[in-house]
Chains A and B, each alone.
Chain A
Amino acid sequence: MTPKRKQRLILVCLMLVGVGLAATIGLKAFKENITLFRSPSDIQAGLVSEGTRFRIGGMVVDESVQRRSDNLDIKFELTDHAHTVAVSFNGILPDLFREGQGIVALGQLDADGVFVASEVLAKHDENYMPPEVAEALEKAGKMPGTSANYGAKTLVQP
C-alpha cells in the first residue's frame, strides 16, 4: 500500500471512529427520550411524577380485563412480572389486544395511582407460527418466549 493510500485509509477510519463515538455519546445522553415507554417497575420506583404524560408498556395480566356492556370503558392491569399497574381506557383497542399480550399505553397517572390511558397500542412478538402449532406448543407448555425489552428487564415469558 502506498503511503498516500495508507494515509487515506487512516483518515476514513478516524472519520468512522469519530462519528461512531459522537453517535454513542448522543444516544447515551438521550436514552431516556429514545426509550418509548416506562415499565410498571419504573412507576413503582417513583421515576415518573403524577400528572406527566408518558407511555407505559407491559403485559396485560390474565383475567384482569373488565369491560362494561354499555360503553367502551375498559380496565385492566399491566405487569412487567415485577410490579403491576392498573390501567383505565375509553376507546378503540387494536385487534391484537388481549390478556397476556404486550401493550403500550399513552396517558398519565391519577391520584390513586391508576394509569388513565388515551391511547392503547398492541405490541406483538417475533414469533410466527400456524394456529395448530401454537395450540400444540401451548399444550406442551413450550410456547417460545420473546426477547422484547420492557424497560426494567427483558421478559422471557414461560
Chain B
Amino acid sequence: MFKWIHRFGSAPFVYRLAGLLGPWVGWLCLIVMLVGLYLGLIVAPADYEQGESYRIIYVHVPAAILSMFVYVVMAVSSAVFLIWRMKLADVVAQASAPIGASFTFLALVTGSLWGKPMWGTWWIWDGRLTSELLLLFLYFGYMALRAAIEHPQSAARAAAVLAVVGVVNIPIIHYSVEWWSTLHQPATITKIGKPSIHPSMAVPLLLMIFGFQLLYLYIVLLRTRIGILQREARTSWVANLPEIESSGANRV
C-alpha cells in the first residue's frame, strides 16, 4: 500500500505516467467540450427570464468552479510540500498556477459580459466579485513570488506559504452570496435539495464543467512534465529518455 503511494513521489514514474495519460485526457476533453457546447448552445432551450443570454453560463460557471478547485489543489499540494518536503507536490502547485489564473480571468470577463445585459452593469464591488478578483491577485502573487526570488528552494517555500494562506479566500468566495447582500445570485448547482436548473440545461452545464476539469488535468500533466524535466535535468534517467535522445539528435 505504502509502496504504491511512494511511486507517486518518484519523478521518472510520474513523468512517464503523465506522458501516457496526456493524449487520452486531451482527446476526451475535446469530445466532452464539443458535446457540451453543442447541447448548451444549440439544443438547450432559452431561459424563461434571461432568454438566450443565459448561455454564457456554459463557460462562466465551469471557469468559476475550476478557478476555486485549482486553487484548492494548489494549496493542498503546497501544504504537502511544506510538511513532507515532497518536491513533486511543489511541481504540481507550480504547474497549476497559470491555468488557475486563466480560469479566474475567464470567470471575471464572462461574468462581466453577462452582467452588462442582465444586471445593467459590467462590474460592481459586491462580495462575490471582489473576492473572485482577490483570487486572481493571489494567483498573480504566487507566480510573481516564484519569479522574484532567485534561489529556487526559497522561492518554492515562500510561494507555498502564500498558496496555503490564500486558501482562506475560497470559502469567502463560495459563501459571499449567503453572508452578505450581493448583486450576484446564490449558487445554482451546488444548492442542496431541489435542483434549481432544468435538466435540459443542467446536462450541458455538467458536461462543460467536466470538460474544463479535463482541460485542467491535461495542462497540469503537461506542465508537471515540464517541471520534472527542469528539476531533474542533470539526472541520468532524463538523459536516457528516448524523447531526449531523439530531440538531441535532430539538432546539430
Residues of A within 8 A of B (CB): 5, 8-9, 12, 15-16, 19-20, 23, 27, 31, 34-37, 39, 57, 92-97, 104, 119-135, 144, 146-151
Residues of B within 8 A of A (CB): 45-50, 54, 57, 79, 82-84, 117-121, 124-127, 161, 164-165, 167-169, 172, 177-183, 185-188, 191, 194, 196-198, 200-201
Shortest Cβ distance from B184 into A: residue: A123
Shortest Cβ distance from A37 into B: residue: B181
Contact across chains for A124 and B50 when beta carbons are under 8 A apart: yes
Residues in A with CB closer than 8 Å to B194 are 144
Query: How many A-B pairs with Cβ below 8 Å?
Result: 137
A34 interface neighbour in B127, B200, B201, Cβ under 8 Å: B127
Residues in A with CB closer than 8 Å to B168 are 16, 19-20, 23
Contact across chains for A147 and B186 when beta carbons are under 8 A apart: yes
List 27 contacting pairs A-B, 8 Å CB cutoff, sorted by A.
A12-B164, A15-B164, A23-B172, A37-B181, A39-B181, A57-B181, A95-B120, A96-B49, A96-B50, A119-B120, A121-B121, A122-B120, A124-B50, A126-B191, A127-B188, A128-B47, A128-B50, A128-B196, A128-B198, A129-B198, A130-B45, A130-B46, A133-B48, A134-B49, A144-B196, A147-B186, A148-B185
Given contacts A131-B46, A134-B48, A144-B196, contact A149 B165 (CB under 8 A): no
CB distance from A141 to the nearest CB of B (A): 15
